[in-house]
Chain A
Amino acid sequence: DGGITQSPKYLFRKEGQNVTLSCEQNLNHDAMYWYRQDPGQGLRLIYYSQIVNDFQKGDIAEGYSVSREKKESFPLTVTSAQKNPTAFYLCASSTAALNTEAFFGQGTRLTVV
């Protein structure tokens, strides 16, 4: 089955810890994206990557980091510098920059305890 897989589905983090969210796709898409969703605010772009070994900051990149060492994988690290990390995180991919259909994973819900 082709698609995007995010793991874990639920993640709990203690304050001051870094955590990494996984995103893998087998759609052979060049572009991958991370969004954050909070109630009543839609989706906000954290980072995006249009090609392997290259990525750009989105609108809310502070406190997050990413890597794109493989075409299939785009992990997101939520660092201790992110002051309000509790949210629903969504990974997406598309064939090119976002003027074409973007496919989303099922999301990771991160909670700081």
Chain B
Amino acid sequence: QKEVEQDPGPLSVPEGAIVSLNCTYSNSAFQYFMWYRQYSRKGPELLMYTYSSGNKEDGRFTAQVDKSSKYISLFIRDSQPSDSATYLCAMSAGNTGKLIFGQGTTLQVKP
């Protein structure tokens, strides 16, 4: 079993839809949770960063962490065609030097 599981999709939605992206994990030591967005043939860029449990909002993006269920989510409101990309969840146990990534979910937002 992989430490981090992410549905690879692809996920296709109409413009304006609410998108939910999810990851599950098995290592209860993970404390730092991140979502990266990666456009085709580019490096990933950090979207959201959360520590421990709870919600964090930034514009149209909301990240949720539920440590009791070992489950994290990224919600995108009013999705735009420019949101079409691969979204990678990532998590770390802290000062270990290792950031573990999910497989990535490919999202397409159709105009």
Task: List residues of chain A with CB under 8 Å of any chain B CB.
Answer: 4, 6, 31, 33, 35, 40-45, 48, 50, 56, 58-59, 88, 90, 92, 96-107, 109
Contacts and interface: CB of A to CB of B under 8 A. Distances in A.
Given A43-B88, A98-B92, A99-B31, A31 B45 contact: no
Interface residues of B, number: 28
Interface of B: 4, 6, 8, 31-32, 34, 36, 41-46, 49, 88, 90, 92, 94-104
A99 B43 contact: no
Contacts of B32: 98-100
Contacts of B99: 33, 45, 98, 102
A50 B102 contact: no
A86 to B, nearest CB: 15
A46 to B, nearest CB: 12
A40 B44 contact: no
Contacts of B102: 42
A42 B92 contact: no
Contact of B6 (A31, A42, A58): A42
A33 B95 CA distance: 14
Contacts of A104: 36, 43-45
B101 A42 contact: yes
Given A42-B4, A96-B95, A99-B94, 14 more contacts: A41-B103, A42-B6, A42-B88, A43-B44, A43-B101, A45-B100, A56-B97, A97-B96, A99-B92, A101-B34, A101-B46, A101-B49, A105-B43, A107-B43
